[in-house]
Structure 1
Amino acid sequence: MLAAAGAVVAASLVLAGCASGSGSSSDGATSSTKADGQFPVSITTALGTTTIDSQPKRVVALGWGDAETALELGVQPVGASDWLGFGGDGVGPWLKGAYTKSPKIIQTLEPSYEDIIKLKPDVILDVKSSGDKDRYAKLSAIAPTVAVPKGAANYLTTTKQQVDMIAKALGKEAEGKKLLSGLDDAYAAARKAHPEFAGKTAVVGSYSSEGFGAYASSDSRSQFMENLGFTIPKAIDQQAGKQFSVSLSDENLDLLDADLTLVLPIFVDASKVTSNALFQKVPSVEAGHDIVFDDPDVSNAFSLGTTAAIEWALDKLPSQFAAKLG
């Protein structure tokens, strides 16, 4: 996992949720009449328009899931951030062996700009990120930097936006469309296999040293469930307001109640959740309609929001959901 010094911050990011999904959100990439892969290209971001003069050969990928997205498009970053602490090349088991040469691993929240300079990047990807202006200024002084799309600061970039923007930057738009089409097909197949999900409610919760939380419908994990046919209770969104997650006090743990309740332990053992007496009193938990994730790979796949991670999770989770629904 991330270094202990950053554990609290990292936990807040995991709780905050890094929203994704292959929905209809604007993709953030400037439309162009050029054929796929032709340069220069311009990409509109929340922090300005980035122009890339020629197809990048040396890519540094810093945002949450940006490196995995580049890999899925056939481009191996020379530098990458490992947000979920996978170790090694910084990717999950769904992309094991995707690198032929390991990237330089760059710190997440406070990257070493000196290390990035040494990598001599042609482009820097910071698409699913905080949207911090100072960070962007420092990165864009090194190389053209693709920042968060408009309205997606604080890790709210959707899967579609991430794929579209990175595909545009790398001259891989046709490949990007195939990734998103494949993801849509995977969701459709899961819905067809499990029509019982339609109309059922689901709450995706979390548990950390600070207590329980729940993800709003704008978060990637909740969108995963919605794409399977579940609905997220309106009470969660009402509590979250404009945020994409909400902290739950002991008094309102019943907000976790749904036809299916999921909980992701964050830097704590799953037993800390299952042994919690108040959690056990949530109606859906009492009825046995809950899953507390105890496999880090599954939890990470469910959380990362890249097309490869989502499809990997789709191979494993729907059958578990169906079993818990009874």
Structure 2
Amino acid sequence: MSANTPSRSSRPGTRIRPRRALRVLTGTLLLALLGTACSSSSDDDGGSGSSASASASGSPAAAFPAEVDTKFGTVTVDSRPQRVVALGWGDAETALALGVQPVGQSDWLAFGGDGVGPWAEGRYDESPEKIGTLEPEFERIAALDPDLILDVKSSGDQTRYDTLSQIAPTIGVPEGGDQYQITWQEQTTMIATALGLGAEGERLITETEGAAAAAAEEHPEFDGRSVTIGSRTSSGWGAYVRGTGRVDFMESLGFTNNPRVQEEAGTAFSVSVSDENLEMLDADLVVMAPIGVEATEISTDPLFMSLPAVEAGRSVIFDDRDVSQAFATNSVLSVGYALENVVPLFAEALR
């Protein structure tokens, strides 16, 4: 992979457009599948915060019952989960980082195999059941007989959560975490607490934050520089906003998200950018990912190539699938892989 000139395209799937509506199982079918499934408790006011409210001491007895605050209320996990299903973006990787192997998981970026990137390979003893992403197959989830469902980095759809919580206690999005807008630190804390591994979660966060801080210190030229994190799909151009993993990653290095993009931010994790307004992508550094298209559709586009940052060589086009997806996943496991591979590209582009 190189700055400005891509050598091959990224696979589809690094940009997700969540739907609001999900199909719901009929009451008869769901009850037949659920049997004696238990459900989580929830408060009408949606919970008091967006982080886990109980910390695990490392002792199984002390860790449970564990309580996790979510948008949907406080979820209580009575005992250590034995069969975990991980549905949210990066939730399975987070569980694996904590030493827990889900029996089922969603493969958001179509990795294949065990459904995880190379930074998490070899952590499964037995491949998990693959579950759909935007519309998970609730029948298949129920058939796995889970005692905990992780849907932490997700759309925050109420119907989706209500259906999942009838199958097993479900850790949904935190308050303010709709549309996948949750940090990897918060994701790690919530999942670690639900699994009774709060201390291990804190250790992972400290180590990973330390690696990002070291990278930022090594590259003071990043500090305060504006950056655009964008994509090109078959339907056009887009740029990501604050609160999403890609932008969080850049901010941890000292960059500031493009203010023109940020002004257009709504509730979604990205904004669409028309050809007529493509100049709004210009920043001190422009980072682009091809999603479902050839990378050359970016590097040979006359409008894109005319951006001042691109003309000056201050752009990076992801042309390595693994690196692009590590950057997109932004989990406690993928951050280190991304730091190692993308930071040199950013430094070269700004040199």
The equivalent of 1:64 in structure 2 is 89
- Partner Cα distance (1:8, 1:305) in 2: 14
Instruction: Quote how far apart the aligned CAs of 1:10 are.
Output: 5.9
Residue 240 (structure 1) aligned with residue 265 (structure 2): yes
What SS does structure 2 have at the residue aligned with 1:212?
A: strand
Residue 49 (structure 1) aligned with residue 74 (structure 2): yes
The equivalent of 2:127 in structure 1 is 102
- Mind listing any 5+ residue stretches in structure 2 that lack a counterpart? 1-11, 19-48
TM-score, normalised via structure 1 length: 0.90
Residue-by-residue CA offset, 1:136-192 (whole Å, 9 max, x unaligned):
121111111111111111211221211011001000101100111011111111012
The equivalent of 2:208 in structure 1 is 183
Is the CA contact 2:240–2:271 (under 8 Å) kept in the aligned structure 1? yes
Instruction: Quote how far apart the aligned CAs of 1:238 are.
Output: 0.6
The equivalent of 2:228 in structure 1 is 203
What SS does structure 2 have at the residue aligned with 1:131?
A: coil
Residue 289 (structure 1) aligned with residue 294 (structure 2): no
Is the CA contact 2:96–2:123 (under 8 Å) kept in the aligned structure 1? yes
The equivalent of 1:215 in structure 2 is 240
Instruction: Quote how far apart the aligned CAs of 1:33 are.
Output: 8.5
- Partner Cα distance (2:289, 2:166) in 1: 38
Instruction: Quote how far apart the aligned CAs of 1:229 are.
Output: 1.1
Is the CA contact 1:261–1:285 (under 8 Å) kept in the aligned structure 2? yes
Assess, with a 3 A threshold, how the Cα gap between structure 1 residues 101 and 35 changes in structure 2: closer, same or farther: closer
Q: Which moved more, 1:56-65 or 1:195-204?
A: 195-204
Task: Give runs of aligned pairs for residues 90-129 of structure 1, distance below 5 A.
Answer: 90-129=115-154
Q: Which moved more, 1:79-88 or 1:248-257?
A: 248-257
- Partner Cα distance (1:166, 1:265) in 2: 31
Assess, with a 3 A threshold, how the Cα gap between structure 1 residues 11 and 55 changes in structure 2: closer, same or farther: closer
- Partner Cα distance (1:9, 1:318) in 2: 19
Higher relative contact order (CA 8 A, sep 6+): 2
The equivalent of 2:40 in structure 1 is none
- Partner Cα distance (2:259, 2:167) in 1: 44
Amino acid at match of 2:308: P
Task: Give runs of aligned pairs for residues 1-326 of structure 1, distance below 5 A.
Answer: 11-12=16-17, 27-31=50-54, 37=60, 38-326=63-351
Amino acid at match of 1:12: R
Residue-by-residue CA offset, 1:199-246 (whole Å, 9 max, x unaligned):
222111111111111112222111211111111222111122444321
Is the CA contact 2:80–2:196 (under 8 Å) kept in the aligned structure 1? yes
Is the CA contact 2:232–2:290 (under 8 Å) kept in the aligned structure 1? yes
What SS does structure 2 have at the residue aligned with 1:154?
A: coil
What SS does structure 2 have at the residue aligned with 1:42?
A: strand
Cα RMSD after superposing both structures: 1.8
Amino acid at match of 1:279: F
Is the CA contact 2:152–2:172 (under 8 Å) kept in the aligned structure 1? yes
Is the CA contact 1:206–1:264 (under 8 Å) kept in the aligned structure 2? yes
Is the CA contact 1:11–1:266 (under 8 Å) kept in the aligned structure 2? no
Is the CA contact 2:233–2:292 (under 8 Å) kept in the aligned structure 1? yes
Q: Which moved more, 1:68-77 or 1:221-230?
A: 221-230
Instruction: Quote how far apart the aligned CAs of 1:27 are.
Output: 4.7
Assess, with a 3 A threshold, how the Cα gap between structure 1 residues 277 and 172 changes in structure 2: closer, same or farther: same
What SS does structure 1 have at the residue aligned with 2:81?
A: coil
Amino acid at match of 1:237: Q
- Partner Cα distance (2:265, 2:305) in 1: 23
What SS does structure 2 have at the residue aligned with 1:141?
A: helix
Larger helix share, 1 or 2: 1
What SS does structure 2 have at the residue aligned with 1:192?
A: helix
Amino acid at match of 1:323: E
Assess, with a 3 A threshold, how the Cα gap between structure 1 residues 302 and 35 changes in structure 2: closer, same or farther: closer
What SS does structure 1 have at the residue aligned with 2:279?
A: helix
TM-score, normalised via structure 2 length: 0.84
- Mind listing any 5+ residue stretches in structure 1 that lack a counterpart? 1-6, 14-25
Instruction: Quote how far apart the aligned CAs of 1:12 are.
Output: 2.6
Amino acid at match of 2:126: K
Identity across matched positions, percent = 51
- Partner Cα distance (1:180, 1:320) in 2: 24
- Partner Cα distance (1:42, 1:89) in 2: 29
Instruction: Quote how far apart the aligned CAs of 1:300 are.
Output: 0.4
- Partner Cα distance (1:110, 1:234) in 2: 34
